[in-house]
């Protein structure tokens, strides 16, 4: 069966592998239909992602079909269309026991720390499959990306009418934006790229697009939008040390700052910048199982429109040659989806 490997940084290989054995107890065998590509995959390809081991079958944003179930599986049946929750947790550690499975101390994300879904079929724990029979496989492949933003907005405790600033209008920032909208927040977006701000205006009606500037005009815009208060919640989706170290300046007193993006560098800021206004800093990692059925329902109801999200489709057979083009995306590119069939 068709399988794609990252053999080492910048080495992609499409090959044939043996079909998997029958699924074991608690497992399902799935056929992969659609695979979303994200920054983690690009980082893995370039050798820049610290947890990536080689050789590796990438692919963690998946729209799959159940083709067989093992003993004891009751949550899915053959023929079900599913989104995959790619976070393999242990169920035994302190965060797992508290229900914070996203922070499992032994967490393995498929496609990153163990093999993922860029192959025709594979076996997976059935409890990690979330059924969405009314969605397309493409939509199901987007659920995981959306879950990242969903969890971030939950971490921030956004309520109706809250002023929310999203910093970084790439795919992760946009996923947070979707859920800030669902919560009924008043949203502003900050990005270095005017093209991205225009996209947010055209697609989501976000009137307040802010370009960070040295001259302080960004702060004036932020204060004007929030009637002088600052934002109830700032979501930093840049993964940029400089932005993350100073993002609290846009927070209202007693506001929150969520970090979704990750940097390997230290964040340095004066303590008073968070102490005086009692700003709460909330890192947000992965997502929770409950986010998946919630998002599937929102897409089904049309509350979230996945239409603007997919800007490129790539056939599996073209991936070895074309994947490198995704490193420098064309303007306006949000999400590329690989089509297995």
Binding site for Zn ion (CB under 5 A): 38, 40, 89-90, 93, 96, 104
Closest distance to Zn ion from the beta carbon of 143 (Å): 11
Q: What does the alpha-carbon distance between residue 209 and residue 15 come to, in Å, rounded to a whole number?
A: 45
**CB atoms near residue 103 (< 10 Å):** 17
Closest CA to 99 of 60, 151, 40: 151
In the complex with Zn ion, which residue's Cβ is closer, 104 or 135?
A: 104
In the complex with Zn ion, which residue's Cβ is closer, 102 or 221?
A: 102
Closest distance to Zn ion from the beta carbon of 177 (Å): 17
Residue 171's SS3 state is helix
The pairing of beta strand 121-125 with beta strand 27-37: antiparallel
Residue 263 sits at the vertex; the CA angle it makes with 96 and 265, to the nearest 5 degrees, is: 120
Q: What does the alpha-carbon distance between residue 310 and residue 333 come to, in Å, rounded to a whole number?
A: 8
In the complex with Zn ion, which residue's Cβ is closer, 148 or 189?
A: 148
Closest distance to Zn ion from the beta carbon of 328 (Å): 19
In the complex with Zn ion, which residue's Cβ is closer, 93 or 324?
A: 93
Q: What does the alpha-carbon distance between residue 40 and residue 34 come to, in Å, rounded to a whole number?
A: 17
Closest distance to Zn ion from the beta carbon of 37 (Å): 8
The partner residues of 130 in beta bridges, in order of sequence, read 83
Contact 304, 329 (CB under 8 A): no
In the complex with Zn ion, which residue's Cβ is closer, 54 or 94?
A: 94
Closest distance to Zn ion from the beta carbon of 92 (Å): 6
Q: What does the alpha-carbon distance between residue 85 and residue 116 come to, in Å, rounded to a whole number?
A: 11
Closest distance to Zn ion from the beta carbon of 318 (Å): 20
In the complex with Zn ion, which residue's Cβ is closer, 104 or 295?
A: 104
In the complex with Zn ion, which residue's Cβ is closer, 38 or 166?
A: 38
Contact 165, 232 (CB under 8 A): no
Closest distance to Zn ion from the beta carbon of 60 (Å): 6
**CB atoms near residue 258 (< 10 Å):** 27
């Amino acid at each position: 069966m068709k399988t794609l490997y990252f053999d080492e940084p910048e080495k992609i290989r499409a090959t044939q592998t043996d079909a998997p054995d029958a699924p074991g107890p608690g497992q399902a065998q799935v056929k992969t239909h659609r695979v979303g590509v994200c920054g983690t995959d690009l980082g893995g390809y370039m050798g820049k992602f610290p947890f990536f081991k080689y050789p590796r079958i990438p692919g963690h944003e998946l729209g799959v079909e159940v083709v067989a179930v093992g003993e004891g599986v009751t949550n899915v049946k053959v023929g079900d269309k599913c989104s995959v929750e790619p976070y393999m947790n242990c169920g035994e550690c302190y965060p797992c026991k508290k229900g914070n499975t996203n922070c499992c101390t032994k967490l393995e994300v498929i496609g990153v720390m163990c093999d993922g879904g860029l192959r025709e079929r594979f076996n997976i724990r059935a409890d990690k499959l979330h059924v969405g029979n009314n969605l397309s496989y493409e939509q199901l492949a987007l659920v995981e990306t959306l879950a990242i933003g969903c969890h971030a907005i939950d971490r921030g405790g956004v309520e109706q009418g809250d002023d929310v600033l999203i910093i970084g209008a790439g795919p992760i920032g946009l996923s947070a934006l979707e859920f800030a909208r669902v919560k009924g927040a008043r949203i502003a977006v900050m990005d270095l790229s005017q093209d991205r701000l225009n996209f947010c205006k055209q697609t989501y009606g976000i009137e307040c697009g802010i370009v960070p500037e040295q001259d302080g005009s960004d702060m004036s815009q932020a204060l004007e939008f929030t009637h002088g208060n600052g934002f109830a919640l700032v979501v930093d989706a840049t993964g940029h040390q400089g932005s993350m170290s100073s993002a609290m300046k846009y927070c209202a007193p007693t506001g929150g700052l969520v970090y979704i993006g990750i940097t390997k560098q230290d964040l340095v800021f004066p303590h008073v910048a968070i102490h005086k206004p009692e700003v709460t800093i909330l890192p947000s990692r992965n997502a929770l199982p409950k986010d998946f059925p919630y998002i599937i329902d929102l897409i089904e109801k049309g509350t979230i429109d996945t239409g603007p999200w997919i800007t490129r489709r790539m056939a599996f057979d073209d991936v070895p040659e074309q994947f490198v083009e995704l490193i420098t995306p064309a303007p306006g590119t949000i999400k590329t989806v690989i089509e297995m069939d």
